[in-house]
Amino acid sequence: MTPTRCLQVDDLEVRFGGLTAVSSVTLEVRAGQAVGLVGPNGAGKTTTFNACSGLVRPSRGSIALFGTDVTDDSPAERARLGLGRTFQRMELYDRLTVRQNVAMGLEARLTGARRLGSLFATRAERARVAEATERSLEQSGISHLADRRAGVLPSGLRRLVELARALAGGYELLLLDEPSSGLDPGETAEFGSILSTVVADEGRGLLLVEHDMALVRSVCDYTYVLDFGKLIAQGPTAEVLASATVRAAYLGEEEVA
């Protein structure tokens, strides 16, 4: 049976005034698949992410989530359909505990799904949030930090809190923007192991924007390469990163050696 297509982007174009930031980008992510989106700074990776999550409106093309066209839908509607994302700049509530931050992953999704927009959760919803929170803390290896304030944690642990919050939301598709930023090699390897487990064991789809090619290699089985807003290569990750054109012109010889 063919895996469910979580994300389908067709002929995407995004313009800002007279500048074309992304042009003719087509990509897909299937359930149980980790896909990389790489390229130099300014290549259009985050703009593509923002179009997929509804933060910017495409000038042309279409975006579908789980078979539903969402090109003109809001970020909230896309989240309701099962899309979760993280940002290059971490967005945590520093005064709240790790557990409280992680719980917001599902709390926000449930609140957005209520037809009347009620802020008050039912008893069943509170129990579901508590269960999802503890499970995600354990998955991310940070259960021992649950009662610590997020603001006192170093960058590596804060990244894990952000990941745990996304996992707690139960999103079937995760868009992660530079999640290894601020991590040392050991933390990056641990982070990659968690992502691989989530994709393999839970069948979630993953689109990963990342500069750390070691993380892309270890997690992603398929990779797209952007430069100046256009796709210049795509295919199995090992083959793409071994390409002489990609290695020399866009990633640098040392990074992919």
Q: Which of 123, 142, 170 is the last residue of a domain?
A: 170
Backbone angles phi and psi of 151, in degrees to 5: -65, -15
Task: Judge whether 239 and 256 are in contact, CB under 8 Å.
Answer: no
Strands 34-38 and 222-227: parallel
Residues 6 and 41 in one domain: yes
The set of residues, in sequence order, having a beta carbon less than 8 Å from that of 257 and lying 6+ positions away, is: none
130 in the same domain as 18: no
60 and 4 in one domain? yes
Domain with 190 in it: what CATH number?
3.40.50.300
pLDDT digits (tens, 9 = 90+) for 148-186: 999 999 988 899 999 999 999 999 999 999 888 888 888
Structural domain for 155, as ranges: 91-170
Domain final position from 141, 170, 199: 170
> Can you tell me the distance from the alpha carbon of 164 to that of 40, in angstroms, rounded to the nearest whole number?
28
Span 36-47, pLDDT tens digits: 999 888 889 999
Instruction: Compute the distance between CA of residue 65 and CA of residue 188 in angstroms, rounded to an integer.
Output: 29
- For the question of whether the overall pTM of this predicted structure is more than 0.85, the answer is yes
Which of 113, 139, 170 represents a domain boundary (last residue)?
A: 170
Instruction: Say yes or no: 75 and 201 in one domain.
Output: yes
Indicate whether 146 and 194 sit together in one domain. no
Q: Is there a single domain that holds both residue 166 and residue 176? A: no
* CA-based torsion, 234, 239, 241, 242: positive or negative: negative
Q: Are residues 190 and 141 in the same domain?
A: no
Residue 62 and residue 176 in one domain: yes
Domain identity same for 129 and 201: no
- My answer on whether 157 and 220 are in the same domain is no
Task: Report the percentage of the chain scoring pLDDT > 90.
Answer: 66
Same domain, 203 and 130: no
CA-based R_g, the chain, Å:
18
Report how far residue 172's alpha carbon sits from residue 174's, in angstroms, rounded to the nearest whole number: 7
| CA separation for the pair 64, 161 (Å, rounded) | 29
Q: What local confidence, expressed as pLDDT, does residue 113 receive? A: 57
pLDDT for 257: 47
Alpha-carbon separation of residue 6 from 36, 174, 206, 216, 226 (angstroms): 15, 10, 9, 19, 21
Query: What 3-state class would DSSP assign to 10?
Result: strand
**Torsion of the alpha carbons at 14, 15, 20 and 24, rounded to the nearest 10:** 30
**How many domains does the chain divide into?**
2
Residue 51: CB atoms within 10 A of its CB come to 24
The span from the CA of 250 to the CA of 86, in Å, is 24
The alpha-helical segments, DSSP class H, found in the chain are 45-53, 75-81, 98-113, 123-139, 155-168, 185-202, 213-219, 237-242, 244-246, 253-256
165 and 179: one domain? Answer: no
pLDDT tens string, the chain, 257 residues long: the values are 567 899 999 999 999 988 999 999 999 999 999 999 998 888 899 999 999 999 999 999 999 999 999 999 999 899 989 999 888 777 889 999 999 999 998 888 777 655 545 555 678 888 999 999 999 999 999 999 999 999 999 988 899 999 999 999 999 999 999 888 888 888 899 999 999 999 999 999 999 999 898 999 999 999 999 988 999 999 999 999 888 877 765 555 444 44
